[in-house]
Structure 1
Amino acid sequence: MGELEIATVAPRGAERLVRLSVAGELDAATVPRLRAALADVVGRRPARVELDLAGVTFCSSAAVTALRVAQRAMPGRLVITDARRPVRRVLELCGLTESFGLTPVAQPGG
């Protein structure tokens, strides 16, 4: 069973910004925790959610689905502020880098 850590910084003032930092593996065993954390954030009705995935070492299709569901339910904007290359690649292959505010992964040699 994969380990997952999620840290939330509550919204501050008028900016209504929530930051979530996620570390570990996003797989079938841990996605329910991610879904619960994202549902909590959606309930706060923030203007912007910044999701830091720099500590995520694996991202399954179930995690991608959870991110898309949260993005659609979000009253504001959900962006990914950082992600390791393998996670970025998964999002790129799903055509979601732009949707989450990430630039595409550069291809080797150009």
Structure 2
Amino acid sequence: MTTPFSATTHPAGTGPVVTVLGEVDVATAPRLRAEIGALTLGPGQLLVIDLAGVTFCDSSGISALIAARNLAEEAGAGVALAAVPARLSRTFALIGLGDFFPAYASAEEAIASHPAVS
């Protein structure tokens, strides 16, 4: 049974955390882009994208993650991926994006690595 797609946001001391569940593909990536595009990011914040619940991610999903990074950079913020599934991590390495995103074992670890925003 597949997990239905969802992307939800909650605040942390360093910035927003977007938790993604299910398959991120051509049908659902626009919803992820919309969720992230609706965020207001400020300089020095960290956008954390928690991928622990992602069961599949195609090129559309990877594109949405790159768009999130671009949005964060335009705002003077950072971006970090948390709990990247092994298969997706391997895909990143194969297509040359292995070092494109800072990655952490969990959202909590990503948040702890970044200074709190005042």
TM-score band by shorter chain is 0.7 to 0.9
Give the equivalent residue in structure 1 for 2:78. Answer: 77
Percent identity (aligned): 31
Root-mean-square deviation (CA, aligned residues, Å) is 1.9
Partner of 2:33: 35
With structure 2 as the length reference, what TM-score do the two structures score? Answer: 0.73
Match of 1:45 in 2: 42
User: What residue ranges of structure 1 are gaps of 5+ in the alignment?
Assistant: 104-110
Tell me the alpha carbon deviations over residues 22-68 of structure 1, each in whole angstroms, 9 at most, x when there is no partner: 01000111011101011012x34361111110110111101111111
The question of whether the paired residues in 1 share the 8 Å contact of 2:52 and 2:83 is answered with yes
The structure whose RCO (Cα within 8 Å, separation 6+) is larger is: 2
Equivalent residue letter for 1:89 = R
Q: Which runs of 4+ in 1 moved over 6 A?
A: none
Letter of the 2:38 partner, please give it: D
Worse-superposed segment, 91-100 or 81-90: 91-100
| Matched-pair contact (CA < 8 Å) for 1:3–1:30 | no
Answer whether contact 2:8 2:35 (CA < 8 A) is retained: no
Amino acid at match of 2:56: F
Instruction: Return the TM-score normalized by structure 1.
Output: 0.78
- Paired residue secondary structure (1:24): strand
Q: Which moved more, 1:52-61 or 1:93-102?
A: 93-102
Aligned equivalents of 1:11, 1:54: Cα separation in 2: 17
The answer to whether the 8 A contact 2:52-2:85 is kept is yes
Task: Count residues in correspondence.
Answer: 98
Q: Deviations over 1:57-108 (max 9, x none)?
A: 11110111111122112121111011111111122222223221138xxxxx
Secondary structure, aligned partner of 1:95: coil
Q: Would you say the 8 A contact 1:35–1:66 is kept in 2? A: yes
